[in-house]
Structure 1
């Protein structure tokens, strides 16, 4: 299987220029599916920390790059929505957040905010023993003793020991960001949730500082004020 990806056919979420060269690196299989961006692209094309794959491999082999609290040595490791990147020697930490148009962007965060990752609950089910398993948007699974307070559409922040640090309920008034669709990157509050009694997707009406918008419910993720700057966008 080829390790290269044609730039013109990369997902819209990838932060790469499409006409500068024919090919770019291809992400390995892993979390985030086809939307996952290879770590090499983040280090070279987004942050400018390295100029080549060789330099990126040296940096990762030294254990200087953390993804979700763990050192990463694979430069093709897929990076995706809400991942936490850490560069301890530089004392720099970033959250992967949707930018305008749905492209993945890096939002600088404080070290104290880099101890857990946001996940949207995609599904939940009972498992043997009476526990409830929560399936998150990036493929992670989490078991809880009491699942009654959690519902698909809610968000949780999980630390690196798989403990829940925070829980944000998907409901009217909740703060959300759109991560897909034409409003990707927009932030607002849920004004109305519409459950469609057909095969059509459920929708959500979002109130913003401008005119607001309506989008597919699957396209939004509940966040909290820690993800938002005083100006109303993703924190800088």
Structure 2
């Protein structure tokens, strides 16, 4: 299996230039699936903190780069939507957020905001003992004490103890952002959820300042004002 990824075939969410070369680094196994961007690309191509894989490995070996509160030593670790990247020595903190077009970008945040991350609930089931297990958009799972949390809701998870510290229901009137499709990066409130009586996805009508747009349920994530990039 090749250890490289052709630039022309990377997902649209990857913040790389496709015509600057033939290959780029391939993401390793981990969260976010094929959409995950290798940490090396963030360090080298986006932030410019390192010039090579060797420098990245040295920097990561100092345990000063945290992703969702955990030190990362693998430069291929996939990074994706709503991850929190912390540079301890620099006292810099970023949230990974989709911009216009769906390309992942880094939003500077403060240290307090870096203590938790947003997650969209994509699965819910009961496990032995009666607990509720939630699956999030990046493939991670956790046990929640609040049984009212449902699929398509969003939660805020503490990076320290993995507890749910906030819950944003998916409902009409909720603040959302589109994370894929034509309207990726757009933010508005849900005006109407159109449930389809078939295998087709539900449609969502979202109101913006002066207009509204339509997308599918899979492409919207409920957020809070603190997750729009205005909390710097």
Give the TM-score, by structure 1 length.
Answer: 0.95
Which structure 1 segments of 5+ residues have no match? none
Is the CA contact (8 Å cut-off) linking 1:130 and 1:145 kept in structure 2? Answer: no
1:8 is the counterpart of 2:8: yes
Which structure 2 segments of 5+ residues have no match? none
Displacement of 1:117 after TM fit? 1.1
RMSD: 1.1
What per-residue deviation string (whole Å, max 9, x for no partner) do you get for residues 133-189 of structure 1? 111111111212341x11111000111211011100111110001111111111110
Q: Residues of 2 paired with 1:74 and 1:67: CA distance?
A: 11
The alignment partner of 1:102 has SS state of coil
Matched ranges for 1:95-114 at <5 A: 95-114=95-114
Matched ranges for 1:42-191 at <5 A: 42-147=42-147, 149-160=148-159, 161-191=161-191
Displacement of 1:210 after TM fit? 3.5
Moved more, 209-218 or 27-36: 209-218
Match of 2:215 in 1: 215
Q: Residues of 1 paired with 2:124 and 2:103: CA distance?
A: 28
Displacement of 1:229 after TM fit? 4.9
Q: Residues of 2 paired with 1:169 and 1:156: CA distance?
A: 8
The alignment partner of 1:111 has SS state of coil
Is the CA contact (8 Å cut-off) linking 2:108 and 2:229 kept in structure 1? Answer: no
Match of 1:224 in 2: 224
The alignment partner of 2:112 has SS state of helix
What per-residue deviation string (whole Å, max 9, x for no partner) do you get for residues 19-49 of structure 1? 0000000000110010000000000000011
Write out the 4+ residue segments of structure 1 that deviate beyond 3 Å after TM superposition.
none
The alignment partner of 1:114 has SS state of helix
Give the count of matched residue pairs. Answer: 231
Q: Residues of 2 paired with 1:133 and 1:13: CA distance?
A: 28
Match of 1:196 in 2: 196
Is the CA contact (8 Å cut-off) linking 1:25 and 1:38 kept in structure 2? Answer: yes
Q: Residues of 2 paired with 1:41 and 1:183: CA distance?
A: 25
Q: Residues of 2 paired with 1:174 and 1:154: CA distance?
A: 10
Q: Residues of 1 paired with 2:131 and 2:58: CA distance?
A: 43
What per-residue deviation string (whole Å, max 9, x for no partner) do you get for residues 75-126 of structure 1? 0000000000000111100000001100000000000000111111111111
Moved more, 131-140 or 78-87: 131-140
The alignment partner of 2:30 has SS state of coil
Give the TM-score, by structure 2 length.
Answer: 0.97
